[in-house]
Amino acid sequence: MRLLLLSLALAGCAAGATGWEEREQAALDRDLANRTAGEPQSCLSSSSSRSLHATGTGLFVYREGSTIWVNRPMHECRNFRPTSTLIVEMRGGSQYCRGDQVRALEPGSSIPGPLCVLGDFTPYRQP
């Protein structure tokens, strides 16, 4: 009986994780739907009033005015959630750049998670 309950609980957790990832992907798809991708850039200026955010889909997003910058990391980074606090080791001073290292700090945790390396930033603008 305990094994059955444990199996059901784990299955529910797995289904929930898939559900929030799908919702995050759908939200990003809606945000980018009427936008055109521009030329990828290796760096972009960061601002103290804005920050890089994890989407929960393995991508990172930075919003600057009406432009949405999407970063596709150099390798798969699925351990980052939208609620994660990102710790970014910026090598370009006040810029987010390709090759910068990112770790996630989950709510209630004091130990950062796995390392992720940023790729190029693609701007998505409204036509």
Q: What is the pLDDT of residues 32-91, one digit of tens each?
A: 899 999 999 999 988 766 788 888 788 999 998 899 999 999 988 877 888 888 888 888
Whether 11 has a pLDDT exceeding 80, the answer reads: no
Residue 8, pLDDT > 70, answer no
Q: Would you state the pLDDT for residue 16?
A: 45
**What is the distance between the alpha carbons of residues 80 and 104, in angstroms, rounded to a whole number?**
6
The pLDDT of residue 14 is 42
At which residue do the structure tokens 């521009």 appear? 38
Can you spell out the DSSP letters for 81-116?
Answer: -TTPEEEEE-SSSSEEETT-EEEEE-TT-SS---EE
Rounded Cα distance between 41 and 5, Å, is 50
Decide if pLDDT at 17 tops 60. Answer: no
